Chain A
Amino acid sequence: MSVSRKRVFDLMKTQCAVFNTTYNPQRLRLGSRILHSRLKGAAIASYYPPRIGTIAQLRKLYPEDDIIDEKEEDWIEHLNVAQSRGKGNPKKKRTAAESKKFTKRR
C-alpha cells in the first residue's frame, strides 16, 4: 500500500511542529540552520582564566580590613630612601617655561 503525497507532507508538518523546525517541503535554502545553532560566544570568551584575588579587589571586598600590599610598601620605602639621598625623580614641570631646561644652557 502506497502512502499518498499529501499524507507524507502532513506527517512532515506535524514533525516540524513537534520538533520545532521549519516546515519546508520545497527544500528552499532558508538559512534557518544559522538561527537554530547555539551561540558559542560566552564559551569562547571565557577561555582565559579571569584575574582574581588582586589587592584592589580584596580591598573592595573587605573595606573594614587593612590589607597590606607588600610590593607597594616596598616600593614606597625605596622611594623614601631615594628621596632622602637626593636621588628621587625630578619634580614634574607644570609650565612650558619650567621645562625649557636645555634652551637655557646654551
Chain B
Amino acid sequence: MRDSYGAPSNHLPIPSSPPFSSPQAPPSTTIAIMSQFRAKKLDIGGYVNIRNIRDHTKRKVFAENEPERNALRYIIRNTTLPQRVRAQAQLELSKMHCYTRFTQVKNRCIMGGRGRGIFSDFRMGRFQFRLNALAGNLPGVKKASW
C-alpha cells in the first residue's frame, strides 16, 4: 500500500522562514497536488467515478497519517508540556496535508456514487438502497407492511 502513493513531504520539524535573497520575487506558494496520493491502479470495486476515487484516496491518506495526527493533537492538548512545544505542534498539525484530515472524508454511495442521502449502515444512497433491498441483495432488510 505504501508504494502506491507518496507520503506528504514538507514536514519540517522546526518552522523555517524562507531566505530573503530575492526581495522582488513573489512569495513562494506551495501548490497542493492531490493526485500524488492516488493509487496508480484502480483499486476500488463497485461504482467508480472520480469523486469516489478521490474520497477513497482521502480515506487511505487519513488512515496512514492518523497516528502522527493523534500524536500532535496529544501534544497540543497536554497543558503540562511547555508552551513552545505545543505551539510547534500546532504549527506542524496545520502544515499537514488537508487529505490527512478526517473532515475531508465523506460517505458516498458505493453503488451510485451519490454524496447525499447515504445510509451509512449500507453505504448506499437512498434510492440504491431501495432498489437493492427490494431485489433482496441486502440480508435482513425487508419491506415493512402492516
Chain A residues with CB under 8 Å of B46's CB are 48-49
Nearest CB on A from B90, distance (A): 13
Taking the complex as formed, is B52 at the interface, i.e. its CB lies under 8 A from any CB of chain A? yes
A29 to B42, CA, bound (A): 44
**Most B C-beta atoms less than 10 A away, residue of A31, A32, A52:** A31
Q: How many A-B residue pairs have CB under 8 A?
A: 69
* Contact-residue size bin, chain A (C-beta under 8 Å from the other chain): 20 to 34
B62 engages A49 (CB within 8 Å): no
Chain B residues with CB under 8 Å of A44's CB are 59, 62-63, 102, 105
B43 engages A45 (CB within 8 Å): no
> If the complex has contacts A41-B63, A45-B60, A48-B52, are A31 and B43 also in contact, measured as CB distance less than 8 A?
no
Q: Which of A8-39 contact B (CB under 8 A)?
A: 28-35, 37, 39
A51 to B41, CA, bound (A): 10
B63, B67, B110: which contacts A49 (Cβ < 8 A)? B110
A31, A35, A47: which contacts B107 (Cβ < 8 A)? A47
Binding site for B on A (CB under 8 A): 28-35, 37, 39-42, 44-45, 47-52
